[in-house]
Amino acid sequence: MSNLPNILTSVRILLVPILVVVLLTRFDGKEFVGLGLFLLAALTDFLDGYFARRWNLVSRFGQLLDPAADKILIAAAFVSLVELDSRVTPSWMVVAILAREFAVNALRSHAAAEQIVIPAGLSGKIKTGAQIVAISLLIIYNKLGEFSHLAPISLWVAVIVTLYSGIDYFARYWRRIGSPMGGPPPPSAPQPPAIA
């Protein structure tokens, strides 16, 4: 039981190549199979964090693996969608999202090396939700019919929220180190890794 969060995170990583193969292979109903796989992977992201916090199972390994698994899932899904139809999922929008993800991941690693804890922010949680909605709608784009316009709209929302959350994350880092953007925060207890 103590390894359950890490097992769920590992399952998420193992689902990624299966998702990519499904998305890039032609067969009847692949959109819904792909959607199911993606939502299952996204569910493991919620569950591993939930169990880690509820049962106090936060581990150093999990702190490193969980955000990496998130980035791998999101990157693989978006790149596959660009490969499927770059008119529906423009490559520049995906590049913007992934650039933010890797920039924040680099900053998180730097902050961890300096033993700086950046608490989870609301913008990071909204960003995650926006990306999940966008990818889900883009996967079933061809099945949306008269509602197909919702997919590109959701992608625009995901890009905007993702970039904003990245700016917010960097701003909170600078406040943490006591830059002119704000004074140093009061001491706080250690927290699980932030959603960024």
- Give 48-87 pLDDT, tens digit per residue: 888 888 888 777 777 778 888 999 999 999 999 999 999 9
pTM, whole model, 2 decimals?
0.85
Instruction: Name the CATH code of domain 4-176 (choices 1.20.1440.130, 3.50.50.60, 3.40.50.720, 1.20.120.1760).
Output: 1.20.120.1760
Question: How many angstroms separate the Cα of 73 from the Cα of each of 13, 17, 109, 193?
Answer: 7, 9, 19, 18
| pLDDT bracket for residue 16 (50, 70, 90) | very high
Among residues 68, 77, 72, the alpha carbon closest in space to that of 193 is found at 68
Over residues 6-33, mean pLDDT: 95
